[in-house]
């Protein structure tokens, strides 16, 4: 059995740590706040329902990142996107060359960011991997209760440096089976993150029900016309991939690979992919569909597009409109070419850094 550190005690972190514990692995669960563990202690572990059934308590619950990570072979970062920069800076002083760090899920540039911190600290690089979406489709249903709607059939994975991909997939297979599929470099895989494609248009275009906290199932708010906005936004993301010289999959191809959805209209396919989980729309303007998907998804796309002279008018309009609705400056909060050290980089340089990482 392996030894794995899970960074982040939200729904994904709890799902992974409990599932891995049920499978017999040594699991350390980290959160910066001990209060995150109160429910786990009070309920004698994490109760999983849905795709996985059982109750489990990780071997270690800790607020000490070094204690969580030291001695493990795999570190899974399952923290919100806005925490990645800080966690990467801390991990750069802890991880060893033989450890694997997996951002699960990542946002475009997470592996590059950690690579940059390792280089800045003068530390030897370690394999860094990232997925564009979580392997686990899950939600908290109560204190220390996680519903796993699905463990996806396949999730694309990439590594920095990319030559480590076989090492990465081999190690992860011991924990998660053969569900991770090599998807090229981290630029290609990062651009497959379709969260903003599905989450943002229905949230922004149904803003009254968000402000009223009606919590309708998100898929039920995707009308045929909103589905066309989803599709048009996806076409801009695909155009960005082409401009950067990489290949990625469409949102509709993602639904096929993750959930086996192939037939019907755009609305039909969204209902088939997400209807079983029926996860609700945002219930506030501080929901992660706004605070993560826009500054760490759409803003990053916009910033990289600027480097290569590509216009993304719908993407940029949704950023600006949601910024006014939420009272936030997403461009100042988000991950940009500048924060990744890529200001002024052409497509070739961007591809190189996303493939090989940042040089020491």
Q: Which segment, 72-76, 152-156, 270-274, is predicted with the most confidence on average? A: 72-76
Cβ-based neighbour number of residue 212 at 10 Å: 11
Chosen CATH of 3-185 out of 3.30.390.50, 3.40.50.1980, 3.30.390.30, 3.40.50.720: 3.40.50.720
Do residues 288 and 82 touch, judged by C-beta distance below 8 A?
no
User: For 234-263, what is each residue's pLDDT tens digit?
Assistant: 999 999 999 999 989 899 998 998 788 989
pLDDT score recorded for residue 106: 87
pLDDT score recorded for residue 10: 94
Checking if the pLDDT of 126 tops 80, the result is yes
25-51: average pLDDT: 96
Checking if the pLDDT of 1 tops 90, the result is no
Checking if the pLDDT of 151 tops 70, the result is yes
Please tell me what DSSP assigns to residue 187.
Answer: H
319-327: average pLDDT: 98
Query: Which residue intervals of the chain bear CATH 1.10.1040.10?
Result: 195-353
Kindly report the CATH number that applies to the domain delimited by 195-353.
1.10.1040.10
pLDDT score recorded for residue 244: 97
Tell me the three state secondary structure of residue 118: helix
% of the chain surpassing 70 pLDDT: 100
pLDDT score recorded for residue 279: 84
Please enumerate in sequence order all residues whose Cβ is within 8 A of that of 351, keeping only pairs 6 or more positions apart, or say none: 185, 187, 244, 245, 246
Give the global pTM: 0.88
* Tokens (6 digits) for 185: 């470099």
Mean pLDDT (the chain, rounded): 94
pLDDT score recorded for residue 103: 96
Radius of gyration for the chain, computed over Cα atoms and rounded to the nearest angstrom:
19
Buried b (16+ CB within 10 A) or exposed e, 22-36: bbebbbbbbbbeeeb
Buried b (16+ CB within 10 A) or exposed e, 313-324: ebbbebbeebbe
pLDDT score recorded for residue 246: 94
pLDDT score recorded for residue 183: 85
- Helix or strand holding residue 90 (H, E): helix 84-91
Give the separation between CA 143 and CA 43, rounded to whole angstroms: 8
User: For 87-117, what is each residue's pLDDT tens digit?
Assistant: 999 999 999 999 999 999 889 999 999 999 9
Q: What angle do CA 329, 331, 216 make, to 5 degrees?
A: 65
Q: Model confidence at 154, in pLDDT bands (50, 70, 90)?
A: confident
pLDDT score recorded for residue 184: 87
pLDDT score recorded for residue 27: 98
Checking if the pLDDT of 360 tops 70, the result is no
Query: Which residue intervals of the chain bear CATH 3.40.50.720?
Result: 3-185
Please tell me what DSSP assigns to residue 282.
Answer: P
Q: How many CA atoms lie within 13 A of 56 on its CB side?
A: 25
35-55: average pLDDT: 96
Do residues 282 and 289 touch, judged by C-beta distance below 8 A?
yes
305-330: average pLDDT: 98
More confident residue, 194 or 53: 53
User: For 263-308, what is each residue's pLDDT tens digit?
Assistant: 999 999 999 988 887 889 999 999 999 999 999 999 999 999 999 9
Helices and strands (DSSP H and E) totals, the chain: 17, 12
Checking if the pLDDT of 223 tops 90, the result is yes
């Amino acid at each position: 059995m392996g030894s794995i550190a899970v960074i982040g005690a939200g729904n994904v972190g709890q799902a992974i740590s409990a599932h891995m514990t049920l499978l017999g692995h040594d699991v350390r669960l980290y959160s910066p706040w001990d209060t995150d563990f109160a429910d786990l202690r009070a309920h004698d572990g994490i109760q999983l329902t849905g795709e996985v059934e059982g109750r489990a308590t990780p071997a270690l619950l800790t607020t000490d990142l070094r204690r969580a990570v030291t001695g493990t072979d795999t570190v899974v970062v399952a923290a919100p996107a806005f925490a990645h920069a800080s966690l990467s800076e801390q991990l750069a002083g802890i991880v060893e060359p033989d450890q694997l760090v997996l951002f699960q899920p990542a946002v475009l540039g997470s592996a590059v960011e950690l690579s940059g911190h390792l280089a800045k600290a003068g530390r030897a690089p370690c394999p860094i991997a990232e997925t564009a979406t979580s392997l686990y489709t899950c939600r908290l249903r109560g204190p220390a209760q996680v519903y796993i709607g699905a463990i996806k059939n396949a999730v694309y994975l990439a590594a920095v440096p990319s030559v480590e991909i076989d090492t990465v997939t081999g190690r992860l297979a011991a924990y998660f089976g053969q569900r991770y599929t090599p998807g090229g470099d981290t630029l290609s895989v990062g651009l497959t993150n379709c969260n903003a494609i599905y989450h943002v248009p229905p949230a922004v275009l149904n803003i009254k029900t968000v402000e009223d906290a009606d919590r309708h199932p998100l898929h039920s708010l995707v009308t045929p016309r909103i589905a066309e906005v989803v599709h048009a936004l996806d076409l801009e993301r695909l155009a960005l991939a082409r401009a950067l010289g990489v290949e990625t999959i469409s949102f509709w191809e993602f639904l096929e690979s993750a959930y086996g959805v192939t037939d019907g209209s755009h609305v039909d396919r969204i209902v088939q992919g997400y209807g079983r989980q029926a996860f609700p729309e945002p219930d506030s303007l501080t929901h992660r569909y706004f605070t993560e998907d826009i500054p760490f998804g759409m803003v990053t796309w916009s910033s990289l597009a600027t480097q290569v002279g590509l216009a993304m008018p719908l993407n940029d309009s949704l950023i600006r409109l949601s910024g006014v609705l939420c009272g936030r400056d997403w461009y100042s909060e988000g991950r940009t070419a500048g924060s990744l050290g890529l200001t002024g980089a052409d497509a070739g340089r961007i591809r190189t850094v996303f493939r090989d990482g940042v040089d020491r």
